[in-house]
Each structure stands twice: as C-alpha cells, then as structure tokens.
C-alpha cells in the first residue's frame, strides 16, 4: 500500500488541500472475501460514484478481481461507465418517468423494472429502436420500496411474458432487496427468498424464465450463503466497511483514507473561543491548527467537538463548530510537534490508530455508508495499488 505524505503528490496534479486515497488493492481483496464467503459470483455495486470512491476505477478493479457484473441505481450512472470504456454487464434499477430507456437499450444496459408502467415504456423504446431490451424483474418481497408490488405481480408477469414472446425483451434476471440483511437470523430473510423463488417459478410457468437470480446484499453475502442463488450484490463491503460491525470486520479492508494538509498553526490564549458562536473555549493557553475540510466536503457538522484526527502518529481533538470549508483542532500547549504542511488523517483503515468511517458514524448516530459516500468532489481522489499502477502505465 502506498502511503501519502505532504511530499508525495500525484504526478502531474496540483497539490490538493484534501485527498481521498483509494486503495484498489483493498477493493480487490474485499471482492475475494465476498466471493469466498458467499460461494458464488458477484455483482459489484458501484452506484453513487462507487460510494464516493470513483465508479470507473472501482468498477475496473472489481472486475479484474473477479466480479462478474456491475450494478448501479440510475441509467445515467451505467451510461457513464460505458463512456469510460467498461463493457461488462451492468444493471440499473431505479427509474423515473423520464429515464433514458432508449439510451439504456442502445448501450446494452440491463434495466431492472419495478412496475407495469416501466415495462410498457421499455417495450415502447425497444420497438422504436427495433431491438430487444435486456431486463430484470425487480420484485418487492417486503421492503416496500421500489420493486413490483405484490398486488401487481400477476399482471406484470403476464405483460413480461408477452413482451418476451414478441421479442421486445430478454428476461435476464429476477431480483429483490432484503429488509433485514444485517440481522442474518431474522426469518424475514428466508421468507423474502421464498417469495422471490415463487415469483421466478411464475415467470418460468409463463414461458419467460429469468436466466439468473440475485438477492443477497453485503451482510447476506457474508453470512447467508444459502441466499446467494446465482449472484450476490454487495455494496458497502466492497469498500471495506463491515455491514454488521458487531460481528467484526470479516477480514475486509477499508479502501478510502481521507487526509488533509494542515493549513495554519497559531496560538490561542486561555479563555478564547474557537469558530462560530464559540461553542468551545480553551481553558488554558494552547496551540490550534486549521484543517481545510468541512461539511461541504462531507465532514458532518454534527461531529463538532466530537471527532479527532491523527497527525504524525498523535491524536488531536477537533474543537469548535465544523464550518463549510474548515475545522480547528487543539494541539495542546506544546503544539504537539505539528507544523503547517503536515498531513492530518481524518479517517482510514484504523491500522495506525486513526479513526475509521464507522467512528464518525457512531458518534452522530448514522451509518458509514453515509460517511464514505458523502465525501465531496473537492477531495482529490488518488488511486494506489496494482490496478492503479497498471492504469497509469497503460495511459503513458
């Protein structure tokens, strides 16, 4: 693993105040963990810009590591992957009335359908283009979110069978999403699988069988191999965060390390406050440092006076309100040996004692999905690992 220092910029890039270093070897390692635990192939979920890690680099790394397919939420995300030169099978599963179905069909994107209305629009687009659309039946088996509703299923299945018979669609897959995947023993997990199996049997009876089935998300892929079916569909675990932290890390390695350069070091007299509304006041003469990252970059304002950073192997508390672009840390009376230009680690693998994304999440009552996917565009993404080196070599 490459470690970034203040003297280790990406070749050819301008220095960045805030850098998210993405270890593609960690991504590859996590693919291996998931394949071994589930006993089957996987769809690597790279929606939301690869959970903030960068969709295209992550997609390439997962495919090189053995992922069979890719999954995203929106068709536009799938089209961006095609534009990046990725030709793997891609499924997109969240659509509005104005989703670009024509473009999806032309780019050979697997369109997961949640209603008869969506199916009708896809059939219309396929007929206009004079080619079959690849589709997945997304079944609502209890999450009560997107997916074909139970009271619509019979009519949807009939429509799908007719569309297949007419050559308008190829029925590639059937899928659902678990309600309680992070509670592996909960009976609803098996009930949802049974409901999806029944729906798959309906399609087969109507002459439009799905070629593959997928159910399991990250927690189920790691703990319920009996739900794996033909493919598993992990998201969070690919990026090295445990989907069931009370059961440990499952051998996953966090892929993102967020670091910032210390922008300013200054003295603060006892009794002086820091940042907006002076929600923290120093009880003694001390030294403070300014870190150029804030809530516009994905550092939650709710973390104010709760988080810590690590610099040169020492941990320092954040003090005062976190602002849009910056926050302040207390270095203590001796300054902690910190100088302007040093690198502060906000979160990372945790192997060096620095925080991990889960620490932030726990402190403000959220989940690490929200933390890593919320790291903003101002953070320069820097890629390390074998896959990153091979990409740079190929571009020369």
Tens of pLDDT along 89-143?
Answer: 999 999 999 999 999 999 999 999 999 999 999 999 999 999 999 999 999 999 9
Q: For the residues of 209-267, what is the DSSP string, one character each?
A: --SEEE---HHHHHH-GGG-TTEE--SGGGGT--SSGGG--TT----EEEEEE--EEEE
Last residue within a domain, chosen from 213, 247, 281 = 247
Angle value at C-alpha 312, between 311 and 314, nearest 5 degrees = 65
Identify the CATH number of the domain in which residue 370 sits: 2.40.37.10
Q: For the residues of 30-86, what is the DSSP string, one character each?
A: HHHHHHHHHSSEEEEE-HHHHHTT-HHHHHHHHHHTT--EEEESSHHHHHHHHHTT-
Mean pLDDT, all residues of the chain:
94
Beta strand 273-274 with 280-281 is antiparallel
Give the pLDDT of residue 386. Answer: 77
Same domain, 341 and 210: no
Angle value at C-alpha 377, between 79 and 341, nearest 5 degrees = 145
Same domain, 222 and 286: no
Q: Choose among 173, 212, 177: nearest CA to 193.
A: 177
Measured in whole angstroms, the distance separating CA 117 from the mean position of its chain's CA atoms is: 29
Whether the Cβ atoms of residue 355 and residue 275 lie closer than 8 Å to each other? no
Query: Considering the domain boundaries, does residue 4 fall inside one?
Result: no
Query: Considering the domain boundaries, does residue 5 fall inside one?
Result: no
Tokens, residue 234: 């992990």
Whole-number Å distance between alpha carbons of 233 and 175: 10
Tens of pLDDT along 273-290?
Answer: 999 999 999 999 999 999
Query: Considering the domain boundaries, does residue 237 fall inside one?
Result: yes
Positions marked catalytic = 47, 276
Tens of pLDDT along 135-188?
Answer: 999 999 999 999 999 999 999 999 999 999 999 999 999 999 999 999 999 999
Phi, psi of 43 (to 5 degrees): -95, 115
pLDDT over threshold 80, residue 12: no
Query: Considering the domain boundaries, does residue 394 fall inside one?
Result: no
Binding positions for substrate are: 145, 324
Give the pLDDT of residue 342. Answer: 97
Give the pLDDT of residue 391. Answer: 59
Query: Considering the domain boundaries, does residue 337 fall inside one?
Result: yes
Tokens, residue 75: 């068709």
Give the pLDDT of residue 352. Answer: 87
Same domain, 334 and 374: yes
Give the pLDDT of residue 390. Answer: 64
Same domain, 31 and 101: yes
pLDDT over threshold 60, residue 3: no
Tokens, residue 381: 């993404």
Query: Considering the domain boundaries, does residue 7 fall inside one?
Result: no
Phi, psi of 232 (to 5 degrees): -110, 160
Q: Residue 75: give the domain boundaries.
A: 24-247
Q: How far is CA 348 from CA 173, 259, 297, 337, 358, in A?
A: 36, 8, 16, 22, 10
Query: Considering the domain boundaries, does residue 388 fall inside one?
Result: no
Count of beta carbons in the 10 Å neighbourhood of residue 324: 11
Same domain, 70 and 149: yes
Q: Choose among 144, 137, 288: nearest CA to 214.
A: 137
Confidence of residue 13 (pLDDT cuts 50, 70, 90): low
Whether the Cβ atoms of residue 344 and residue 326 lie closer than 8 Å to each other? no
Query: Considering the domain boundaries, does residue 147 fall inside one?
Result: yes
Residue with tokens 């992957």: 81
Average pLDDT over residues 218-246: 97
Average pLDDT over residues 328-357: 96
Confidence of residue 6 (pLDDT cuts 50, 70, 90): very low
Last residue within a domain, chosen from 201, 221, 247 = 247
**What is the total count of domains within the chain?**
2
Same domain, 201 and 264: no
Same domain, 199 and 180: yes
Same domain, 75 and 160: yes
Same domain, 277 and 203: no
Same domain, 236 and 289: no
Tens of pLDDT along 366-393?
Answer: 999 999 999 999 999 999 997 666 655 5
Same domain, 182 and 288: no
Same domain, 229 and 337: no
Identify the CATH number of the domain in which residue 42 sits: 3.20.20.10
Last residue within a domain, chosen from 194, 214, 247 = 247
Whether the Cβ atoms of residue 291 and residue 316 lie closer than 8 Å to each other? no
Tokens, residue 186: 């909960």
Whether the Cβ atoms of residue 264 and residue 290 lie closer than 8 Å to each other? yes
């Amino acid at each position: 693993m490459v470690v970034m220092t203040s003297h280790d910029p990406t070749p050819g890039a301008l220095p960045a105040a805030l850098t998210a270093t993405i270890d593609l070897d960690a991504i590859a390692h996590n693919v291996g963990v998931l394949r071994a635990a589930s006993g089957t192939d996987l769809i690597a979920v790279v929606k939301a810009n690869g959970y903030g890690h960068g969709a295209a680099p992550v997609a390439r790394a997962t495919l090189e590591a053995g992922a069979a397919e890719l999954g995203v939420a929106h068709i536009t995300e799938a089209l961006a992957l095609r534009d990046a030169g990725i030709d793997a099978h891609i499924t997109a599963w969240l659509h509005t009335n104005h989703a670009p179905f024509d473009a999806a069909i032309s780019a050979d994107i697997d369109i997961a359908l949640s209603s008869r209305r969506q199916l009708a629009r896809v059939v219309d687009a396929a007929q206009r283009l004079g080619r079959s659309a690849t589709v997945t039946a997304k079944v609502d088996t209890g999450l009560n979110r997107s997916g074909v509703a139970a009271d619509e299923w019979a009519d949807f299945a009939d429509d799908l069978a007719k569309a297949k018979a007419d050559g308008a669609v190829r029925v590639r897959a059937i899928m659902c999403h678990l309600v309680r995947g992070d509670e592996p023993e909960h009976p609803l997990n098996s009930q949802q699988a049974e409901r999806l199996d029944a729906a798959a049997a309906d399609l087969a009876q109507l002459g439009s069988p799905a070629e593959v089935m997928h159910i399991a998300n990250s927690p189920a892929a790691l703990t319920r191999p009996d739900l794996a079916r033909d493919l598993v569909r992990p998201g969070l675990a690919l990026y090295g965060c445990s989907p069931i932290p009370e059961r440990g890390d499952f051998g996953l390695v966090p892929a993102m390390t967020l670091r910032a350069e210390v922008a300013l070091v200054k003295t603060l007299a006892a009794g002086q406050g820091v940042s907006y509304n002076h929600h923290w006041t120093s009880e003694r003469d001390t030294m403070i440092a300014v870190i150029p990252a804030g809530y516009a970059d994905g550092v939650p304002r709710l973390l104010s006076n709760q988080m810590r950073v690590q610099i040169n192997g020492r941990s320092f508390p954040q003090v005062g309100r976190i602002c849009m672009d910056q926050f302040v840390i207390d270095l203590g009376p001796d300054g902690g040996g910190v100088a302007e230009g040093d690198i502060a680690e906000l979160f990372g693998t945790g192997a060096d004692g620095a925080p991990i994304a889960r620490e932030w999440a726990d402190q403000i009552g959220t989940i690490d999905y929200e933390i890593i996917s919320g790291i903003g565009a101002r953070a320069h993404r820097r890629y390390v690992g074998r896959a990153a080196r091979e990409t740079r070599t190929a571009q020369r």
